[in-house]
Amino acid sequence: MLGETQSLELVKAALAACDCDQAEAILHSTNSSLTRFAESTIHQNVAERDAMISVRAVLGKRIGVARGNQITKDEVQSVARRAVELARVSAEDERFVSLPEPRPLPDIASYSGATASSTPEQRADSVRAIVDVAGANGCRASGSLSAESAEIAVANSLGISAYAPATEAGLIALLADDESSGYAEWHGLDIATLDPAEIADIAAGKCVDAHGAEAIDPGEYTVILEPLAVGDMLSMLAYMGLDALSVQEGRSFLTGRIGEKVTGENITIWDDATDPRGLAFPFDWEGVPRQKVSIIENGVARGVVYDSYTANKEGKQSTGHAYPAPNPYGPMPGHLFLASGPATLEDMIASTERGIFVTRFHYTNVVHEKQTIFTGMTRDGTFLIENGKITSPLKNLRFTQSIVEALSNVELIGRDSELVPRAHVPTLKIANFTFTS
């Protein structure tokens, strides 16, 4: 770790070398480790250190961005001068107003020493626990265990000066035999809270229960989606239009619909990078404090996320959702929450006359952005529900479904939520989910 003092000195040295109207400098350094395993054997352990300096220079309405990854004072100043030269030859962006001004930053715990100091031996012990569970269930274990520490420093010529460290750990566990497979994931800030055997037990149970899978005709079914599938669906929705840029360009399903009912009344969705249940972090890539943003409240569209560029176009403040420039995608929610409900998983299954239980989705893709239609496959644990009980495993199915329509057909919401990639979500029971093949 470079530390706060050195990181801020470097970004401010870059600013000092910018002969322009406004400037911004970002330093992002990472230490990442990954242990991979397959066929119940560790086959790869890698560790990587990297650092990136990015400078955005503004001359009137001309903007240039340059990057480098040699983190010395001379190099960051060289990157800064390149950014200014690029700005001189860039076309004007008439919609650009200004870089953001400083605002108070929240005090958020975003760093775990246990994750940052994770060793190959410790990760190997976790893999051993997974392999033991796999062997006890007649399965083979594959997957990965990762640990990353990072630090981000952002400064601009208007007075922003922000620094914070962060950590993230993740486990993917796929347990399989010659006939079936089961899957589970874990994500968190602190690797010390991971119980690898518990995650392996979940995947092993799915694998064993999936023996003898049968085909089922495509059509509309009631589904029970576990958090991994719900999180995938919410991430696709975010990509399709929970941001200001897509609304401003008319690509979002929310364009012209803020204040209108867009989903079922039992759906409330927000984005909050300050919530410790997620991978919390205090500011975005412009050094703007991250804000909680209500997106859908009791089925009614309330708002979207902004960076400074999209906020300035509407005379608003950024909500702290910027990504490093140049960024054609605009702001993006990356810490989504879907409000939990009162139901248990047992309640959901017992209330289902005929339906499909889905562990996760695979290879999801956009079909129609504005209609929020996406497609993909079920994978690693798909089961038939009949008369309130899981009765048999199913072969995987392809679905093609409008996400907003699915969120309008939610019958029950689980009371327990889980952290999955980019979201913290419960299990959902949804009617009339369309499987196409």
pLDDT in tens, 268-289: 999 999 999 999 999 999 999 9
**What's the number of domains the chain is made of?**
2
Report the C-alpha dihedral over residues 323, 324, 328, 334, rounded to 10 degrees. -20
CATH number, domain with residue 154: 3.30.2290.10
**What would the mean pLDDT of 112-116 be, rounded to a whole number?**
98
Burial class, 275, CB count within 10 angstroms (exposed 0-12 / middle 13-18 / buried 19+) = middle
Of 145, 265, 234, the closest CA to residue 417 belongs to 234
Looking at the fold, whether 317 and 387 belong to one and the same domain comes out as yes
Structure tokens at 343: 């139901």
- pLDDT bin (cut points 50, 70, 90) of residue 111 is very high
* Residue 208: inside a domain: no
Query: Can you tell me the distance from the alpha carbon of 152 to that of 286, in angstroms, rounded to the nearest whole number?
Result: 11
Query: Can you tell me the distance from the alpha carbon of 370 to that of 72, in angstroms, rounded to the nearest whole number?
Result: 45
Q: What is the pLDDT of residue 211?
A: 97
Handedness of CA 342, 185, 224, 296 (dihedral sign): positive
* Residue 84: inside a domain: yes
pLDDT in tens, 175-224: 999 999 999 999 999 999 999 999 999 999 999 999 999 999 999 999 99
Instruction: Say if residue 65's pLDDT is above 90.
Output: yes
- What's the N-to-C CA distance of the chain in angstroms? 50
Q: What is the pLDDT of residue 21?
A: 98
* Residue 408: inside a domain: yes
Could you tell me the pTM of the whole model?
0.96
Q: What is the pLDDT of residue 228?
A: 98
**What would the mean pLDDT of 391-401 be, rounded to a whole number?**
98
* Residue 209: inside a domain: no
pLDDT in tens, 135-154: 999 999 999 999 999 999 99
Instruction: Say if residue 33's pLDDT is above 90.
Output: yes
- pLDDT bin (cut points 50, 70, 90) of residue 1 is confident
Looking at the fold, whether 188 and 239 belong to one and the same domain comes out as no
- Domain assignment of residue 271, given as a range: 214-437
Q: What is the pLDDT of residue 31?
A: 97
Query: Can you tell me the distance from the alpha carbon of 406 to that of 412, in angstroms, rounded to the nearest whole number?
Result: 12
pLDDT in tens, 69-107: 999 999 999 999 999 999 999 999 999 999 999 999 999
* Residue 142: inside a domain: yes
Do 311 and 331 touch, CB atoms closer than 8 A?
Answer: no
* Residue 207: inside a domain: no
